[in-house]
Amino acid sequence: MTTTTLHPGKDGAGVVRRTVLPGGLRVVTETMPTVRSVAVGMWVGIGSRDEAPEHTGATHFLEHLLFKGTPTRDAMEISASIEGIGGEINAFTAKEYTCYYARVLDEDLPLALGVLADVVTSSLITAEDVESERGVILEEIAMHDDDPSDVVHEAFSAALYGDSPIGRPILGTVDSINELPRERIVEYYRTYYQPPRTVVSVAGNVRHEDVVELVARAYERAGALSGATEFAPPRTSGPGAETHSRVRVVDRPTEQANMVLGTTGMTRTDDRRFALGVLNAALGGGMSSRLFQEIREKRGLAYSAYSYTSAYADTGQFGIYVGCLPTKIDDVLKICRDEVLRVVAEGITEEEIARGKGQMRGGLVLGLEDTGSRMSRIGKNELVYDELMSVDEVLSRIESVTPEDIGEVARDVLSRPLTLAVIGPYGDKDFTPAIA
């Protein structure tokens, strides 16, 4: 067992420590002595992009199944044990990891850790539960498919990455969920839900030593601690990240058209990601951004208009989303295209840079005001990065971004071939000229 201080904190607060237990299980904590709550997360380094074709949808399927029961708790006991003390328990699945989390009073930390460890290590995954949750997931897919503003982002990923693991929907498809047998789900669970791929992160009014003892005890009960303290390193690549430039139109009789125009972005470890963040904030990151002002405030063409970035181990996305009347899609597309070209040619102003930096700084600091966000930061960081940057270090990196940095990033990212996804009543309309 080895323990390392990742960040010393100040005045006893904000200390981040990591202990690696036998079997490669990592425990990271951040002390927040002025609060009365604790957030616990169990991060597993497996996401939907890791699925082979025969396992499509298995990662998210497991997110549901692990709450259905263990040898010591049934589904009701799992939820009632946390909700009965005023806490919350849930999970989410992403492209490259899955997280099971709870938030409770500090005095209830032993219970929260015990329940989550039980869920993650000892799920029964019975045939009855698989069939029950199969129906629930199909309902979730149907609900998702009824929201064009959700579907358009999936359509964009599919157009950008093609029929590859990272381009497929996290939920899976109706066909893949219907065809996924229990045996393959169990195989997936036993292969990937192992200590070397797992990080337990805890933030709040805690002592690191107490957390480590509780985690070790819970995992020992499950027989999951053995071997050397070696853990899986952060992933630096992934299957199927080849990109494409194409147009995908989903013809639907909707009252509003939904579109995403974009291209590949930065990997999550690219040093230029801070410059891209400032550029994104200026271009479409808020009500004062160029796109919002031009599309909504000046011309009244849409209610919602924004840009965004997503980052993965070996690729990333930059996208512009707009929801507008179907008759206005051509005007909106032209504005988006013109603004992208203008930023590439001219960059952004000093005022926009200052505003973008302020937006990033405020978003970072304000987003870390609670135990849940702190837990997520240290847990995700331990899973996917080589080092933990302090908040001050991140703020310094944002502040050091120069106009030249932004110009270089704009010329790189925004000059790449564009991909477009559109959902609306368009039949066989050809949007290809709009992004040429």
Query: Which positions are annotated as active-site residues?
Result: 63
User: 104 — phi, psi (to 5°)?
Assistant: -145, 175
Distance CA 109, CA 93 (A): 23
Dihedral pair phi/psi, residue 206, rounded to 5°: -135, 160
CB 85 within 8 A of CB 102: no
First to last CA, the chain: 57
CA proximity to 213, closest of 343, 109, 119: 109
The residue among 116, 310, 135 whose CA lies nearest residue 222 is 116
**How many residues are recorded in the chain?**
436
